[in-house]
């Protein structure tokens, strides 16, 4: 066997890269498919309770900003849909949650205005009028937006001593999805900004998940009164 035979890429050499690509594509499409339902438990929990108690509106808004930034940045950079598709579906569900928070606070008109403004901002960001530098800046601002948003929710949980209407299913699915996205973003986009955003997102989602476990048996004061 010659040196050339040993160093020339063969089936075994190609197997690992192909496996990584297949795994990344499979994970990516799985995350996108899962994102169609991931926040619905949160929506149903709010509607069922007719209350958004325990949810930080500022946190929801910052998460919406981060998701919008990721989606617009990915579209303008022509990244494959499997690497960012969940941002679209999570954004739509997050907009719904933000409206419900406003609605159940007695601010329905403000909620409708918010929906209209969100649609307008998205159209402008996706239009040729928006410079690429602005889109990149929006994506770069995702990390602080995610951190501040999650810290606001964590602070709300700590101050209340319970997690209110936060859905455990949604929180744990978001945590798992953001962990998987670290691998897929590195594999499919090679963009350090995207990968870094998901690393930070995973840490922050992990914090909220830990709080859910810690406050698992804690209940809001009005619920305790009803039981008594």
**In the chain, % of residues over pLDDT 70:** 89
Categorize the per-residue pLDDT at 3 as very low, low, confident or very high, splitting at 50, 70 and 90. very low
Integer Cα distance of 154 and 209 in angstroms: 10
**pLDDT for 52-93, tens place per residue?**
999 999 999 999 999 999 999 999 999 888 888 889 999 999
pTM of the complete model: 0.77
Tokens of 71: 């989606």
pLDDT of residue 82: 82
Categorize the per-residue pLDDT at 4 as very low, low, confident or very high, splitting at 50, 70 and 90. very low
pLDDT of residue 104: 96
Which range has the worst mean pLDDT, 44-53, 107-116, 134-143? 134-143
Integer Cα distance of 123 and 135 in angstroms: 13
* Of residues 192 and 13, more confidently modeled: 192
The rounded mean pLDDT for the chain is 86
**pLDDT for 192-222, tens place per residue?**
888 888 899 899 999 999 999 999 988 766 5
Integer Cα distance of 151 and 207 in angstroms: 9
The tally of CA atoms less than 13 A away on the side-chain side of residue 114 is: 21
**pLDDT for 145-164, tens place per residue?**
989 999 999 999 999 999 88
Tokens of 95: 């907009």
* Of residues 87 and 19, more confidently modeled: 87
pLDDT of residue 18: 76
- Could you tell me which of 212, 206, 215, 201 has the C-alpha nearest to residue 41? 212
**In the chain, % of residues over pLDDT 90:** 54
Integer Cα distance of 26 and 156 in angstroms: 36
């Amino acid at each position: 066997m010659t040196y050339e035979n040993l160093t020339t890429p063969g089936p075994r050499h190609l197997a690992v890269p192909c496996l990584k690509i297949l795994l990344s594509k499979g994970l990516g499409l799985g995350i996108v498919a899962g994102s169609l339902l991931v926040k619905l438990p949160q929506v149903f929990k709010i509607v069922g309770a007719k209350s958004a108690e325990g949810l930080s509106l500022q946190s929801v808004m910052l998460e919406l900003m981060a998701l919008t930034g990721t989606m617009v940045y990915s579209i303008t950079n022509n990244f494959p849909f499997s690497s960012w598709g969940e941002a679209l579906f999570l954004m739509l569900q997050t907009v719904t949650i933000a409206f419900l928070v406003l609605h159940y606070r007695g601010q329905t008109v403000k909620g409708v205005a918010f929906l209209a403004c969100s649609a307008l901002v998205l159209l402008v960001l996706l239009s040729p009028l928006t410079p690429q530098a602005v889109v990149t800046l929006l994506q770069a601002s995702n990390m602080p937006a995610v951190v501040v948003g999650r810290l606001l929710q964590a602070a709300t949980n700590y101050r209340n001593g319970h997690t209110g209407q936060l859905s455990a299913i949604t929180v744990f699915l978001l945590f798992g999805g953001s962990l998987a996205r670290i691998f897929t973003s590195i594999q499919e986009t090679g963009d350090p900004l995207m990968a870094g955003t998901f690393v930070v997102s995973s840490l922050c989602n992990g914090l909220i998940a830990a709080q859910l476990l810690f406050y698992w048996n804690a209940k809001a004061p009005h619920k305790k009164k009803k039981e008594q």
